[in-house]
Every structure is written in structure tokens, then in C-alpha cells.
A and B are shown apart, each in its own frame.
Chain A
């Protein structure tokens, strides 16, 4: 059974700190996605990682993919309150483009 596991599921941190969210998955896949969801809203695409070793950065967020370890990380640098949200990773099943979702990480950044 394909599983996508995120940890932690909940993270409360102070502004200015660094932290990493981990996403492990159980099947071979070269495509991994990170999304952000604000309360009551839909999903916003953050990163699409398409190959082993892919690294993408946008502002204070950086995502990486290790397909051999079946692991992706989302690193937050010098967190600010505006980054408070729930972050989801998802893995693409090659055959039909369906996304298998992690449980989400609720991130609260305190001023």
C-alpha cells in the first residue's frame, strides 16, 4: 500500500527560527509536490520536484527530493508569522497522475 507520511504533524515555533518538515513515501516516484493551505482555503502550489536531487527555493522555503531515500524535505529559514499554514506533500502515481497525500503539517509561527 502506498503511504505518504509527514512529520511532524504539528509544529509551533518562534519567528526567526529554522525548521524542517519531512515527507517519506513508500513507493518509487520521481514526482513530489508541496502545497500550502490556509484555514478555509484551497491549496496553493509551492514546489514541484521532478527528479532525484531536485532542490527548489522560494523566499524562506526550500524543498528537496531524494528519490533513493524516498524522502522530501521542506525547510523553513528564519520563519515569519505569514508562513503559518498547513503544509501538505503529495506523491504522484506514475500511471494516472493521481496524487497520494500526506496528512499535512500544521505550522504555527508565533511573533
Chain B
């Protein structure tokens, strides 16, 4: 099967600090990965599309300087929340599109971020 991992699964940080979330495709290569944010009882909101070796494409309203995305290899994308504030607290989910399978996206288990 196709497995996507995220690390950490939960993180609590203080306002003003930065947090890095890793998204890895464990058994497949993924040129394209996606980062989502989900608020309680709401649907997923696409934050950005991450392509290996190039700059991420951010959705309207998402601050690229605040949410830094790096996709340095075909199996790893990272999301860094810089100078985090309480309003950044959310559930962050990544997904990866397998290069071998055009139509399927595989989702990571999510990272719950709490900023105090």
C-alpha cells in the first residue's frame, strides 16, 4: 500500500516560536504533495501545493512567509509555521500524489498544533 507519515502527530508551542511539520511518503515517490488545514467540524482547506524541486504554490489568503514549505526530495515535504500565534492552532494534514498513480492522493495522519 501507499503510506504517508507525518511528524510530529501533536505539538504544543509558545507564541512566537516556529514549528516544523514533516510529511513523508514511505513507499512511493511523490513529486506533488499538498498541505491542508482543518478547523474543528469543518472541511479541509488547501493551503498550498508542493512540488519537488520548485517553489510551492500557495492558495489565496495563505501567507507564504508564515507557512514555509520545502519539498526537497521525492519523499519529503516540510511545513514550517513561523512565529506561531494561537490562531495558527489547527489540524494540519498533508497528502501525497504518487507518481505511479495519477488519480490517487494518500493522506498523512495529521498534526495537531496548539499554540499557547
Chain A residues with CB under 8 Å of chain B are 31, 33, 35, 40-45, 48, 50, 88, 92, 96-99, 101-104, 106
- A102 CA to B41 CA, complexed, in Å: 12
Rounded to whole angstroms, the CA-CA distance of A31 and B105 in the bound complex is: 12
- A45 with B104: in contact, given A97-B32, A97-B97, A98-B34 (CB under 8 Å)? yes
Query: Which residues in window 72-108 of B have CB below 8 A to A?
Result: 93, 95, 97, 102-108
The listed residue with most B CB atoms (<10 A of its CB), out of A42, A92, A99, is A42
Contact across chains for B105 and A102 when beta carbons are under 8 A apart: no
Which secondary structure dominates chain B's binding surface? strand
User: Contact partner of B106 among A45, A50, A104, CB < 8 A?
Assistant: A45
A99 touches B103 (CB 8 A): no
B43–A104 CB distance below 8 A: yes
Q: Which residues of B lie under 8 Å from residue A45 when comparing CB positions?
A: 104-107
Which residues of A sit under 8 angstroms from B34, Cβ to Cβ?
98-99
Q: Which residues of B contact A35 (CB under 8 A)?
A: 107
Q: Is the CB–CB distance between A101 and B97 below 8 Å?
A: no
Contact of B43 among A50, A98, A101 (CB under 8 A): A101
Known: A101-B43, A104-B43. A42 touches B105 (CB 8 A): no
11 A-B contacts, Cβ less than 8 Å apart? Answer: A35-B107, A40-B112, A42-B93, A42-B110, A43-B44, A45-B107, A96-B49, A99-B105, A101-B43, A103-B42, A103-B43
* Beta-carbon contact of B107 and A43 below 8 Å: yes
Query: Which residue of B43, B93, B103, B109 has the most chain A CB atoms within 10 A of its CB atom?
Result: B43
Residues of B within 8 A of A41 (CB): 109-110
Q: Is the CB of B43 within 8 A of A88?
A: yes
Known: A35-B107, A102-B43. 7 other contacts (CB 8 A): A41-B110, A43-B44, A45-B107, A48-B103, A88-B44, A97-B97, A97-B102
Contacts of A33 in B (CB 8 A): 105
Bound-state CA distance A2–B109 (Å) is 27
How far, in whole Å, are A88 and B105 apart by their CA atoms in the complex? 14
Most buried by A among B102, B107, B108: B107
How far, in Å, is B26 (CB) from chain A's closest CB?
15
